[in-house]
Structure 1
Amino acid sequence: MKKPSRQIRDEIARLQDQLKQAETREAERIGRIALKAGIGKFEIDEAALLSAFEEIVDRFRKGGGSRPAKAPATVPTGASSDVAEQS
């Protein structure tokens, strides 16, 4: 049996709300982690920060997120080197 369009619209609205809530939870989680890492202590250009996050995503997709023990930490442009020393 086909669903009436109103029921489909209601389901879409419900799913959009669920998506918004899930994205909010994810953003809060990532924000808390970033603050723990010290990212709130200095100004970082949004484009540089986005680029750094994209590099992290690539690293986790390719190698499971682990890095060699002696690998130097990369510091995004405009970031303090204190972050690399904290990791």
Structure 2
Amino acid sequence: MKKPSSKIRDEIAKLQEQLKQAETREAERIGRIALKAGLGEIEIDEIELHAAFEALVMRFRQRQGVIASTGRKRSAGENGGPAGTTTLAPGTAEGSSGEA
């Protein structure tokens, strides 16, 4: 038996609320981590910050692709990032602005 459109709308509304709550939790988690790392103290243009986050996402997605394609986790000594990247110590910032 097919669901009436009103039931489907109710389910959509519930799912939208769940999505909103999940996004809020994720944003708070990422925000706390960013603040702990000192990101709140750095003056940076929002566009530049967004680009840096996109680069970070790509870096981690590439890493996950290596794990998924090989079926194994890398050992601590294996480089998981793209060629030419370096791993920064927590609390350090990369950039040419002289801020760290």
Flag structure 2 segments of 5+ consecutive residues without an equivalent.
Answer: 65-78
State how 1:20-31 maps to structure 2 within 5 Å: 20-31=20-31
**Which residue pairs with 1:54 in the alignment?**
54
Task: Mark the CA change 1:66 to 1:35 in structure 2 (over 3 Å): closer, same or farther.
Answer: farther
Matching residue's letter, 1:42: I
Contact 1:34 1:40 in 2 (8 A): yes
1:8-57 Cα offsets, whole Å, 9 max, x none, are 00000000000000000000000000000101112210100000000001
The structure 1 segments of at least 4 consecutive aligned residues displaced by more than 3 Å after TM superposition are 64-67, 76-79
**Percentage identity across paired residues of the two chains:** 59
**d(CA) in 2 for partners of 1:60, 1:44:** 22
Structure 2: how far apart are the matches of 1:60 and 1:9?
36
Q: Aligned partners of 1:53, 1:32: CA distance in 2, in Å?
A: 15
* Correspondence for 2:43: 43
Of 47, 65, 71, the match for 2:86: 71
Residue 16 (1) aligns with residue 16 (2): yes
What's the C-alpha RMSD, in Å, of the aligned pairs? Answer: 2.6
Supply the AA of the counterpart residue of 2:54: E
Higher relative contact order (CA 8 A, sep 6+): 1
Comparing both structures, which one devotes a greater share of its residues to helix? 1
